[in-house]
């Protein structure tokens, strides 16, 4: 594999690759302005900001593997007595969004860098795939074990998909306080580079052990380095392989579906009496989108009419 001629910066993009001789495939992503746009809407404290950045990176990593362009991936935590009460991220058509609900008082009393257990308690990670083209929907749930969300996502593929997988993520802030996050996902496909929807395989295949060992050398600082092109990152990891096929890149953007038309359609499902009860003293209904932290005021009388 030769070092490709690529731009000096690479952000808000996903890139796929395959290693045919090793029966492996992978994906790398990096988020920059998209990540900042999502985080800045909420003004989260540092620990929650870092958590959501990792969750959005994992959502982009896994979501970008969907072959159905209208398909959706949702990643959600279920917590038990943790600081975080809810974390939700989703991916659809190259757009990501996410938010976190948490107990501010408990977070203030916690260390500056709380552990995953402190944040979630005995929690679980649920990953749901909705395929628009077939109408299929399937979900896997794994414990939030380990030190990071990436470790839980890796366990998901081992337990739910039975696919040997390596997942890594990293985040950093530049001198101007802008966030950059990146991640890599590498999988073993013993049936060939295309694989099958469900694979049942031994987890000690020597080809996979070789690829996994190389993948583990990537550092969090490399993943979150906006000046390091994704193609170069792949080259650094696998430049000694006979062939590495780099696939077309995919742009990533912030996406939210809270349009006025959508909100009107949601409110229209309620009876007129309930809509009037939702209104304040001025006859306004305020709908707050948790994802983008935007409030949409609407006249209840107009809706009723």
Domain(s) of CATH 3.55.30.10: residues in the chain:
13-254
pLDDT at res. 195: 46
At 70 the three-state DSSP class reads coil
pLDDT at res. 86: 94
CATH of 260-304, one of 3.90.1150.10, 3.40.50.300, 2.30.42.10, 3.90.1280.10: 3.90.1280.10
At 173 the three-state DSSP class reads strand
Domain(s) of CATH 3.90.1280.10: residues in the chain:
260-304
Distance, CA of 37 to CA of 305 (rounded, Å): 36
Orientation angle between helical segments 230-238 and 206-215, nearest 10 degrees: 130
pLDDT at res. 144: 92
pLDDT at res. 201: 47
Q: Spell out where 103-136 has E strands.
A: 124-130
Orientation angle between helical segments 149-156 and 46-63, nearest 10 degrees: 30
Secondary structure of 187-221 in the HEC alphabet?
A: EECCCCCCCCCCCCCCCCCHHHHHHHHHHCCCCHH
CATH assignment, 13-254? 3.55.30.10
**Per-residue pLDDT tens listing for the chain (305 residues):** 555 544 446 799 999 999 999 999 999 999 999 999 999 988 899 999 999 999 999 999 999 999 888 899 999 998 888 999 999 999 999 999 999 999 999 999 999 999 999 999 999 999 999 998 888 898 999 999 889 999 999 999 988 878 899 999 999 988 788 899 999 999 998 554 454 444 444 445 778 999 999 999 999 999 999 999 999 999 999 999 999 999 989 999 998 777 777 777 777 778 877 877 788 877 777 777 777 777 777 777 666 54
Helix, strand, coil percentages in the chain from 3-state DSSP, rounded to 5: 30, 30, 40
């Amino acid at each position: 594999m030769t070092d490709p001629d690529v731009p000096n910066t690479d952000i808000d993009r996903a890139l796929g690759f395959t290693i045919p001789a090793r029966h492996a495939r992978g994906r790398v992503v990096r988020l920059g302005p998209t990540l900042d746009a999502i985080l800045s809407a909420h003004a989260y404290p540092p620990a929650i900001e870092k958590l959501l950045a990792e969750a959005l990176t994992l959502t982009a990593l896994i979501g970008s593997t969907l072959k159905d362009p209208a398909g959706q991936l949702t990643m959600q935590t279920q917590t038990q007595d943790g600081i975080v009460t809810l974390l939700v991220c989703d991916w659809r058509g190259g757009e990501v969004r996410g938010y976190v609900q948490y107990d501010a008082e408990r977070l203030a009393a916690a260390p500056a860098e709380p552990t995953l257990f402190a944040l979630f308690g005995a929690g679980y990670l649920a990953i749901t795939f909705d395929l628009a083209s077939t109408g299929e929907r399937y979900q896997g749930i794994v414990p939030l074990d380990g030190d990071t969300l990436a470790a839980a996502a890796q366990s998901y593929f081992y337990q739910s998909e039975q696919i040997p997988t390596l997942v890594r993520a990293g985040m950093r802030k530049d001198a101007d306080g802008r966030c950059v996050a990146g991640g890599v996902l590498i999988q073993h496909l013993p049936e060939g580079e295309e694989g099958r929807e469900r694979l049942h395989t031994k987890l000690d295949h020597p080809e996979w052990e070789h690829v996994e060992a190389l993948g583990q050398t990537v550092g969090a600082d490399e993943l979150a380095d906006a000046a390091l092109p994704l193609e170069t990152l792949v080259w650094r990891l696998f430049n000694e392989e006979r062939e590495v096929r780099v696939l077309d890149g995919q742009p990533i953007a912030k996406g939210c579906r809270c349009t006025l038309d959508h909100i009107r359609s949601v409110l229209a499902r309620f009876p007129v009496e309930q809509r009037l009860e939702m209104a304040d003293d001025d006859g306004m209904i305020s709908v707050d989108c948790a994802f983008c932290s935007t409030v949409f005021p609407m006249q209840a009388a107009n809706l009723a009419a």
